[in-house]
Amino acid sequence: MKALEGRHVLVTGANGGLGEQFVAQALERGAAKVYAAARTPRTWSDPRVEPLDLDLNDPEAPARAAAVATDVDLLINNAAIAPAGDSISGPEDELRRIFETNFFGTLRVSNAFAPVLAANGGGTLINILSAAAWVSMPTGYAASKAAMWSATNALRLQLRGQGTHVVGLLVGMIDTPMTAGWDVPKVTPESVVAQAYDAVGDGTLEVLADEVTRDLKSRLNTRGEELYPWLDEQVAALSS
């Protein structure tokens, strides 16, 4: 709990199911201020919450947000999209929109706030990723999360010198509106956020937030001839 006391937190995608939990639990754990960033900011009842306009598809928006939220020492990159009908085969414009949001948008926010975090003692950066990064799902979403997983690990090295703790949070299905169309076991947003915030205090670099993700990570050293047929079976089971 103490790891959040007095912190100044910024949550992207704050209006969504997981984003709301990041805001709520930051307040419960004693955050001094939470910037609730969204494309269309909403009103919040707690005076410690400051709505912030941040559209990941606007290349200039992260810099504007960083100029306003100069006291941030904990950045949570939660915003992402997973459009219905998403396919790795296109259309290309849709794939570009997914990458513009999930990869380039997240990376812009990270780069814009890196100097802010440095100025506030290094701070913490949490990127919300997905087990889809490791599964052979034929979607732009999965490909964008795989790219962001790689970028998160690169940011960890790049920002190490300024004392920034970079955390990758990977999880399978979370019970939010984004996954409403999937009839599969899901974990609660509350449990995912709790694990993410616990990582802020204990120095964890990568949070595997459910059993499915932990099992999947443990299999990544399996020979490709065994791993990919097994992954194909898992994807087929999800799709059936």
What are the pLDDT tens digits along the chain (240 aa)? 578 999 999 999 999 889 999 999 999 999 999 999 999 999 999 999 999 999 999 999 999 999 999 999 999 999 999 998 999 998 999 999 999 999 999 999 999 999 999 999 999 999 999 999 998 789 999 999 999 999 999 999 999 999 999 999 999 877 766 655 555 667 899 999 999 999 999 999 999 999 989 999 999 999 999 988 888 887 777 666
What are the distances in angstroms from CA 61 to CA 57, 95, 151, 239? 8, 21, 20, 36
pTM value surpassing 0.85: yes
The residue written with tokens 């409403």 in the block is 180
Please give the DSSP secondary-structure letter assigned to residue 5. T
How many Å apart are CA 105 and CA 61, to the nearest integer? 9
Domain 2-239 has CATH 3.40.30.10: no
Greatest C-alpha distance within the chain: 55
Q: Give the amino acid at 112.
A: A
Question: Are 77 and 109 spatial neighbours (Cβ–Cβ below 8 Å)?
Answer: yes
